Amino acid sequence: MAFPQGIPFRSTSGFVTDGANDSVETSTSNTTNAAVDSASYPRTSAQGNNVGYETGSFNVLITRDRSTSVDPRLAGLHGTNNGPVMTYRIDMPTAGYKAVRLAVGDNNYSFNVTPPGLELFDGTTRLRTLESLPTNAAAHWMDATMAERTSSADWVSNNASITERFLTTILRVNITHPAGIAYLYVEDAATPPNAFIRAKYALFPKTVMRRISQ
Amino acid sequence: MTIPVTAVSILRVLLQMERNLSGLQNDMRNNALTWRTAAQAQSTPIATLAGFMNSAATAYQTRLGWVTGIQADATNWPRISAMFVVLGGTGQDFSDLMTPLTAVANQLGPATKNSYAQIIALCDQITAAVNAPLSLWPE
């Protein structure tokens, strides 16, 4: 399977033109532009990876097309509408260190997210919170480090990635109401400089090691 | 105490098979159309496009392998098959779907993809072989 893999989230596939590494998630099990039966896994992306929502039901997810004037990756969003946790899955070619990028926000409105928000999992093991803060204005997007980017251009230029080591080939993002997502991206990453320390002290509880390594 | 495999579990797998195979039919067709557009526009390097297609071939094989895996499950497949028969289906229905999808998945990886023209021709072969699945709403 080919990496990187980007997933722009919106309502309509043809609303904007996606980049070569991106495969839009619309979850259009119906065409009402809302309240989709949103479980979509497995879907094989044009990049050759099996992806999709593993869980979902009517009235849980709202999909929106927002603007063709912003970067195509930020053109729309999926937002939760109560209901159970939504889980998005990407099957990766290999385990190992992966860089993850994210955009959470709405071009038209400030966007409400409260903890736990978006959480990153390696298979069934929780790795970290990706995003749990609201944006303060329309056309602001939070990145994977929970930094608020104040325009499309700001997000494009400055969005930062986080790097995590995956022991499995299954990346999951849990999205707990109120929350949503505009863009998710994952690619192979180099082994970080502190990897030796992490390995040496691997007997420590994961939470302790995370404090050391961050 | 573990929960036994009940008819509810069997139905779940049957529905997963439907979603997987119908979705695979859709994905094979839609991805071929996407690759064809990219090849025609020459907007993505040939090697990158070829990489996507080779990766997709692997992903398709994975999804088909899930089906052949459950079909080889001597304990559960007879129950799944029996439930499908109750719905009016037969083993032939799975074969009719699996055979062309498997052929595309098998041919996609080894196919020559050294030029945009070859990629376009390959995509045309896929869309000729894989029509869109029947759907109640426009897809």
Cα angle: A4, vertex B22, A92; to 5 degrees: 20
Could you say which residues of chain B have pLDDT below 50?
none
Interface confidence, given as ipTM, is 0.91
Q: Does A169 touch chain B (CB under 8 A)?
A: no
8 Å CB contact of A48 and B38:
no
- Average pLDDT along chain A: 87
Give the pLDDT band (50/70/90) at residue A209.
low
Q: In what order do the strands lie in the sheet with A118-122?
A: A43-44, A50-53, A86-91, A170-175, A118-122, A125-131
Q: What is the pLDDT of residues A140-153, one digit of tens each?
A: 999 999 999 999 99
Partner-chain residue, chosen from A31, A40, A44, that has the shortest CB–CB distance to B137: A31
Q: What is the pLDDT of residues A105-130, one digit of tens each?
A: 999 999 999 999 999 999 999 999 99
Q: How far apart are CA A36 and CA A39, in angstroms?
A: 9
Q: Which of A 72-131 lie inside 8 A of B, CB atoms?
A: 91, 93
- Report whether A55 contacts A37 (CB < 8 A): no
Q: Is A76 exposed, middle or buried (0-12, 13-18, 19+ CB in 10 A)?
A: buried
- Report whether A1 contacts A48 (CB < 8 A): yes
Please tell me the predicted confidence (pLDDT) of residue A192. 79
pLDDT above 70 (res A19): yes
Helix (H) or strand (E) holding B78: helix B77-86
Mutation site for B-interface testing, chosen from A12, A47, A90 by largest number of B Cβ within 10 Å = A47
φ/ψ region of B82 (left if φ > 0, alpha if ψ in -120 to 50, else beta) reads alpha
State the pairing for strand pair A86-91/A148-149. unpaired
Q: Does A202 touch chain B (CB under 8 A)?
A: no
Partner-chain residue, chosen from A1, A40, A50, that has the shortest CB–CB distance to B63: A50
Please tell me the predicted confidence (pLDDT) of residue A33. 36
8 Å CB contact of A42 and B44:
no
Q: Which of A 5-24 lie inside 8 A of B, CB atoms?
A: 20
- Report whether A120 contacts A173 (CB < 8 A): yes
Please tell me the predicted confidence (pLDDT) of residue A138. 97
Amino acid at position A207, single letter: T
Q: What is the pLDDT of residues B50-80, one digit of tens each?
A: 999 999 999 999 999 999 999 999 999 999 9
State the pairing for strand pair A125-131/A118-122. antiparallel
Q: What is the pLDDT of residues A28-87, one digit of tens each?
A: 543 333 334 556 899 999 999 999 998 765 567 888 999 999 999 999 999 987 777 889
Instruction: Give the closest residue to A69 by CA, choosing from A107, A102, A100, A95.
Output: A107
Alpha-carbon gap: A94 to the closest alpha carbon of chain B (Å): 12
Parse chain B into domains and list their residue ranges.
Answer: 7-129
pTM: 0.88
Strands (E), chain A: 5-8, 43-44, 50-53, 61-65, 76-80, 86-91, 96-106, 118-122, 125-131, 140-142, 148-149, 162-166, 170-175, 180-181, 183-188
CATH of A5-213, one of 3.60.20.10, 3.30.450.20, 2.60.120.430, 2.60.90.10: 2.60.120.430
Q: How far apart are CA B17 and CA B20, in angstroms?
A: 5
Residue B14, phi then psi, degrees to nearest 5: -60, -45
